Amino acid sequence: MSAKRPAQPIKVYSASLSGHAHRVRLFLSLLGLPFEVVEVDMRAGAHRGPEFLRRNAFGQVPVIEDGEVTVADSNAIMVYLNERYADDPGRWYPRDPFGAAQVQRWLSVAAGQLAGGPAMARITVLFGLQKDPAEIVARSHDLLRVMNDELATRPYLAGATPTLADIANYSYVAHAPEGNVSLAEYPHVRAWLARIEALPGFLPMAASRIGLAA
């Protein structure tokens, strides 16, 4: 738990179905920081209203307000929280060049292959999007095979200890079955998920009874 504390609870503009928003809530919980969740009604288009767009012009959750500071984008928010409040920022984002590069690699994966694979597969089922599910599921398995092979050689994505790389990728991988992406063939990925879930302060993401999880 972090000894550094915000003057007041950090306000998190979130959506319960969003894995991007969950990764921020999860990291806040792992740091032991007080926060207040403001649910944004995405179905009603609240994220496209002028009040929300003043916080994030891209109209996306999550956004945090930490006193007078507003930060958007889940990965950017985690970097901010780490640098501002973690007792040992180097634990979550290494200070050495190679360690930092390994974490950045997986933050890029979270914004790229993960978003276009397991996250998109889940969204396609959740909202009934007119997309080719077979192609998206195939992309998801391409990513999971790489993850599984790399996690066979180390306990966490970027090394021997958990980092922002793991927090950024956890939510959508854990909920991949909701997008009809099975984790059955990836024992090292499943063991990694269990290690994240065993961290002190772990906060689960609400499950949706869809896809293979129905």
* CATH code at position 108: 1.20.1050.10
214 within a domain of the structure (yes/no): no
User: Per-residue pLDDT tens for 157-203?
Assistant: 999 999 999 999 999 999 999 999 999 999 999 999 999 999 999 99
Q: Are residues 77 and 152 in the same domain?
A: no
Q: Are residues 114 and 188 in the same domain?
A: yes
pLDDT of residue 203: 98
pLDDT of residue 37: 97
Helices 74-85 and 97-111 cross at an angle (nearest 10°) of: 150
- pTM for this structure? 0.95
Structural domain harbouring 40: 10-87
The number of folded domains in the chain is 2
Q: Which of 87, 114, 149 is the last residue of a domain?
A: 87
CA distance 193 to 66: 29
Q: Are residues 45 and 129 in the same domain?
A: no
pLDDT of residue 173: 98
CA distance 7 to 80: 16
Torsion, CA 54, CA 112, CA 171, CA 152, rounded to 10: -160
Q: Are residues 98 and 200 in the same domain?
A: yes
213 within a domain of the structure (yes/no): no
Average pLDDT value for residue range 20-31: 98
User: Per-residue pLDDT tens for 85-138?
Assistant: 999 999 999 999 999 999 999 999 999 999 999 999 999 999 898 888 999 999
Average pLDDT value for residue range 59-63: 94
Q: Which of 39, 69, 87 is the last residue of a domain?
A: 87
Average pLDDT value for residue range 141-158: 98
pLDDT of residue 2: 61
| pLDDT band, residue 210 (cuts 50/70/90) | very high
User: Per-residue pLDDT tens for 34-51?
Assistant: 999 999 987 777 688 888
The letter for the amino acid at 163 is T
Phi/psi at 72 (5° precision)? -110, 165
116 within a domain of the structure (yes/no): yes
Q: Are residues 44 and 123 in the same domain?
A: no
- Terminal Cα-to-Cα distance of the chain (whole angstroms): 35
* CATH number of the domain residue 83 falls in: 3.40.30.10
pLDDT of residue 4: 84
